[in-house]
Amino acid sequence: MAKLALNGGSMAAADLEIPRWPQCTEQSRENVLDALESERWCRVTDGANWVDRFEAEFAEYHDAEHAIAVSNGTTAIELSLRACGLKPGDEVLVPAYTFIATASAVACMGGVPRFVDVDPETYNMDPESVRENITDRTVGLVGVHFAGYPMDMDELTAIADEHGLFLIEDSAHAQGSEWRGQKVGTFGEFGTFSFQQSKSLPAGEGGIVVTDDELLAEEARQVHNIGRAVGEPGYKHYMLSSNYRLSEFQGALLSAQLEKLPEENERRRRNEKVLISALSDIDGISTKPEDDRITARGYCIFNFRYDEEAFGGVSRDRFIEALNAEGVPARTGYELPLYKQPAFSREQLSALVPPGTDLPVYRHMHLPGVEEVRRTNVTLSHNVLLAGEDGVRTIARAVDKIHEHADELRD
């Protein structure tokens, strides 16, 4: 092969044409225009129906009894925690390698996040670490289906049942993923989803919770509508709560976006299979393991692990720099584990929990699975998997080219 693009050579992935994201379809335009011209822009306005329609469609897609649309994925977690009865000072187990909202939602509700390790092969919560971190103050866990790759729901539901814990599935990455033929987000008390612009089901912002529990659904609807009881009009409020409602514009847009999600996920699945096969022949690159219990995949990002020793000691960051130069838009992912985030200092948390609450000293933590992932992770956005098959193959060719010319990258 020619020399690396970083050093003046031609780009190995010059033909990688990545579809724009998000995509505004004609149906999206029609739906949003209908909401606009209806002049019923708030979901509680008489005659408004787009959010109601989307909730019904999303619940049906997940074979769930209830879906409640909210303003974003973070508030979806907050609403779920409150409906599950989280009280100030309660401990909730969360993975230490994920977006901050999974844990900050717990803290902002007055709870104490207790960080657990992740399996470096799947990036998901390590069930053994979950068991090790349960205390007499633990009331639940919020797990993440990282990158759309489902958590081990066999293990986690068993742990939750054994210890009487609530289970919330943060499914922000996993629109369409399945475990043993069942959509993720439907195993625990609640499943939460995000519709932020980068997600595979986007509306700029927005979120939703799903549940099969009638009482939890009623509580969640009351919480999401400033404490109003379901079906009661006017200004009678039964609890102190915030406004988590989704707008009619976003409901209209999401209804159109949901229509195309299954076909897009199938294209991503096919291209992921091609990419994994091509990468499997390159020493030093590890993709996530196949698991027959995962019967369908949703996607947010595609991850693989990089072994710098197999690349002659070239650092992961230098590898990504070279990969970008070859035309592949790779990134490192989350730079910090949550226990290193300044937002989780004891000074910050002590203002949110009851006086005298025992708080972990997060800055002293070192979880080996998390540290391995943050050191080795390489990330591609889900829309890369919507490129043509030939384009996807150029990603592996770029990685192989860097492997062959790794000596050009050494300091």
- 27 included as an active-site residue: no
Q: What is the SS3 assignment for 259?
A: helix
Catalytic-role residue among 173, 183, 221, 268: 173
Do residues 216 and 83 lie in contact, with contact meaning Cβ atoms separated by under 8 Å? yes
Catalytic-role residue among 196, 222, 250, 257: 196
- 99 included as an active-site residue: yes
Q: Which of 186, 199, 195, 222 is nearest to 82 (CA)?
A: 222
Which CA distances in Å does 76 have to 6, 82, 94, 269, 378?
Answer: 43, 10, 15, 27, 28
How far is Cα 10 from Cα 98, in angstroms, rounded to an integer? 36
- 170 included as an active-site residue: yes
Do residues 375 and 305 lie in contact, with contact meaning Cβ atoms separated by under 8 Å? no
Helix residue ranges per DSSP H, 86-193: 101-108, 127-132, 153-163
Catalytic-role residue among 43, 114, 183, 199: 199
- 228 included as an active-site residue: yes
Cis ω on the peptide bond leading into residue 22 (within 30° of 0)?
A: yes
Catalytic-role residue among 66, 82, 183, 228: 228
- 173 included as an active-site residue: yes
CA neighbours within 13 Å on the CB side: how many for 296? Answer: 18
Catalytic-role residue among 149, 170, 221, 249: 170
Catalytic-role residue among 235, 236, 292, 364: 235
Which CA distances in Å does 252 have to 55, 193, 198, 367?
Answer: 11, 17, 18, 43
- 180 included as an active-site residue: no
- 235 included as an active-site residue: yes
Which tokens sit at 162? 């054994």
Supply the angle between the helices 316-325 and 389-404 in degrees, to the nearest 10: 130
Catalytic-role residue among 224, 245, 318, 374: 245
Question: Any idea which residues carry the catalytic annotation?
Answer: 99, 170, 173, 196, 199, 228, 235, 245
